């Protein structure tokens, strides 16, 4: 099923690491690239991309399917063979940041363009003679490395329940398919499947897929980044730390309207990875007021976070509140920051480690801007576990791929049900169900045919 992907259809993907740089690029390559993007692009003067000169830049908007402006963009059109891949290429320069890029990509994938495989632009560039001979080995390494990693990553990303649920549904679909196929290939031994039964089975799986699709859509880390809480007593330098992170990392400030708490959040990008720092207003506010930190409040902030950055004034002896709160860090993903290194050292790293054994401690000076690099390094390591490189593109892509596969499966199941309802023969229903099972197999990395045949023989007593 995946093999068919190597035929030159039109592909798209986000081509720049998320959040790095002020501009993000969605690249589209293939014979349908220009005509498809033209359908969703509007320039102020209404000029069509089909008419755009080669290598020209067009300013305008990408429109949503209801015709609203999705993002303000600059689009470049490069016709074959004068492009990176030597195919027709359209590059959409969007506002950087996760959400706009994702939205534009989603819009494009909704138009029948396929998500590019890892390394596929480069591969096409090579296959079309764009890259020179000496680069062949490098391309092969790239494919092997990216695909293997991509698959491992894909599996890792599927949280336990999600993955289990997809496997179960695929299994059910294979069971249905085996029942249909057994009846077709062994009509004298196996009874026909009842149409109502088939419809309700499809409906059941469709419902579950829909629910799953909804949860996958809110895939937390991907869409929202790592939920990060900066916690500490008043005047330890939380605000300066935040500003330091923001300044160095070209953060995007977003306000989320309509939420009950009027929270302001900020996203900082560290090593291509988005961290969402909640309650930034709170951080700034408590820095100005001399009062005891609300332990309860700190606890609730910690509970909602994927990552806790606990800030201590390292130039004065450790406070009782800190001792109490540090103990609470056990078992959480956290980093302890000893700030104000420029003012002297009154708290040792060992003191902290004694209180919370497995949490790394970093000494910094927010005012003198020292220690930031090692803090960032530790933060990223804490989140990824140091096992895989979760930065940027690959993570995004695999996730989007899963969603696409779920969406395709859902469409196929709806079609299967409709085919049944229309009274068309089971052979045609089988085509749709097979499609849905293949879609789910793309996520789990399984191919279909052998599984169906095995199931026919396992479930049905055949042989005259």
Partner 1 sequence: MEKFDVIVVGAGHAGCEAALAAARMGFRTAIFTLALDSVAMMPCNPSIGGPGKAHIVREIDALGGEIGRITDETSLHVRMLNTRKGPAVRALRAQVDRKLYSWKMRQILEREPRLFLREGCVERILVKGGRVWGVALRTEERFQGKCVVVANGTYMRSLIHVGEVHYESGPQAQQTTHGLSRNLEELGFQLIRFKTGTPPRANSRSLNYDKMTALPGEKLPRGFSFTSKVAKRKQLPCWLTHTTSETHRIISENLDRTALYGGAIMGIGPRYCPSIESKIVQFPDKESHQVFVEPEGWDTQEVYLSGVSTSLPAEVQMEVARSIPGLENVEFLRLAYAIEYDCLGPHQLKSSLESKTIRGLFFAGQINGSSGYEEAAAQGIIAGINCGLYLRKEQPLILGRDEAYIGVLIDDLVTKTIHEPYRMMTSLAEYRLLLRQDNADRRLSRYGKDLGLLSGERYEKVQSKWYAVEKEMERLGTWRITPSQVITAALESVGSTPISRVVTGEELLRRPEITYSELRALGFESTFDEELQELVETEVKYAGYILKERRSVERFQAMEARVLPDWIDYDLVEGLSKEAAEKLNSVRPHSLGQASRIAGVSPADISVLMVFLEHRGRRLKASEKTD
Q: How far is the CB of 5 from partner 1 (least distance, A)?
A: 8
Q: How far is the CB of 30 from partner 1 (least distance, A)?
A: 14
Q: How far is the CB of 183 from partner 1 (least distance, A)?
A: 7
Distance CA 202, CA 414 (A): 8
- The residue among 204 and 425 lying less far from partner 1, judged by its C-beta, is 425
Q: How far is the CB of 140 from partner 1 (least distance, A)?
A: 4
- The residue among 264 and 453 lying less far from partner 1, judged by its C-beta, is 453
- 128-131 contacts at long range (C-beta below 8 A, 24 or more positions apart): 128/81, 128/85, 128/86, 128/87, 129/86, 130/81, 130/84, 130/85, 130/86
- The residue among 159 and 192 lying less far from partner 1, judged by its C-beta, is 192
Q: How far is the CB of 245 from partner 1 (least distance, A)?
A: 38
Q: How far is the CB of 192 from partner 1 (least distance, A)?
A: 8
- The residue among 3 and 289 lying less far from partner 1, judged by its C-beta, is 3
- The residue among 95 and 128 lying less far from partner 1, judged by its C-beta, is 128
- The residue among 140 and 214 lying less far from partner 1, judged by its C-beta, is 140
- The residue among 387 and 450 lying less far from partner 1, judged by its C-beta, is 450
- The residue among 193 and 355 lying less far from partner 1, judged by its C-beta, is 193
Q: How far is the CB of 88 from partner 1 (least distance, A)?
A: 18
Q: How far is the CB of 424 from partner 1 (least distance, A)?
A: 6
Q: What does the binding site for partner 1 look like in residue numbers (CB under 8 A)?
A: 2-7, 123, 126-127, 129, 133, 136-137, 139-141, 143-144, 147-148, 181, 183-189, 192, 422-428, 431, 449-450, 452-453, 456-457, 461-464
Whether 154 and 402 have beta carbons less than 8 Å apart is answered as yes
């Amino acid at each position: 099923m995946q093999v068919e992907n190597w035929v030159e259809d039109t592909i798209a993907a986000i081509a720049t690491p998320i959040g790095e740089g002020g501009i993000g690029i969605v690249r589209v390559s293939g014979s349908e690239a220009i005509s498809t993007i033209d359908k969703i692009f509007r320039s102020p003067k209404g000029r069509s991309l089909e008419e755009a000169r080669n290598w020209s830049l067009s300013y305008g908007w990408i429109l949503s399917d209801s015709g609203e402006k999705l993002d303000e963009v600059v689009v470049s059109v490069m016709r074959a063979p004068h492009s990176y891949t030597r195919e027709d290429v359209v590059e959409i320069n969007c506002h950087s940041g996760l959400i706009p890029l994702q939205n534009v990509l989603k819009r494009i994938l909704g138009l029948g363009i396929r998500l590019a495989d890892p390394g596929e632009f480069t591969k096409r560039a090579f296959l079309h003679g764009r890259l020179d001979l000496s680069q062949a080995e490098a391309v092969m390494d790239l494919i092997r490395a990216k695909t293997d990693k991509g698959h491992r990553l894909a599996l890792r990303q599927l949280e336990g329940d999600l993955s289990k649920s997809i496997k179960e549904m695929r299994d059910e679909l294979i069971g249905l398919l085996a029942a249909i196929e057994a009846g077709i290939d062994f009509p004298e031994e196996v009874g026909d499947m009842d149409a109502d039964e088939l419809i309700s089975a499809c409906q059941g799986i469709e419902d579950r897929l829909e629910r799953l699709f909804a949860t996958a859509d809110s895939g937390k880390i991907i869409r929202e980044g790592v939920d990060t809480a900066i916690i500490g007593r008043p005047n330890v330098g939380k605000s300066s730390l935040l500003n330091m992170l923001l300044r160095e990392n070209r953060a995007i400030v977003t306000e989320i309207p309509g939420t009950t708490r009027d929270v302001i959040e900020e996203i900082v990008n560290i090593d291509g990875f988005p961290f969402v720092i909640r309650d930034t207003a709170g951080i700034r506010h408590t820095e100005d007021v001399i009062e005891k930190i609300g332990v309860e409040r700190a606890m609730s902030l910690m509970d909602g976070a994927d990552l806790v950055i606990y800030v201590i004034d390292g130039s004065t002896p450790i406070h009782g509140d800190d001792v109490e709160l540090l103990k609470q860090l056990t078992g959480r993903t956290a980093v302890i920051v000893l700030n104000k290194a420029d003012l002297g050292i009154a708290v040792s790293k060992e003191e902290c480690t004694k209180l919370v054994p497995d949490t790394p401690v970093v000494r910094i000076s927010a005012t003198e801007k020292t220690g930031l690099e090692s803090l960032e390094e530790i933060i990223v390591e804490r989140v990824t576990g140091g096992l895989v490189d979760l930065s940027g593109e690959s993570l995004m892509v695999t996730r989007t791929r899963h969603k696409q596969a779920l969406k395709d499966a859902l469409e196929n199941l709806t079609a299967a049900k409709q085919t049944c309802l229309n009274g068309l023969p089971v052979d045609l229903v089988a085509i749709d169900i097979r499609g849905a099972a293949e879609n789910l197999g793309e996520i789990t990395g399984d191919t279909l045919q052998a599984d169906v045949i095995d199931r026919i023989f396992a479930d049905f007593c055949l042989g005259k």
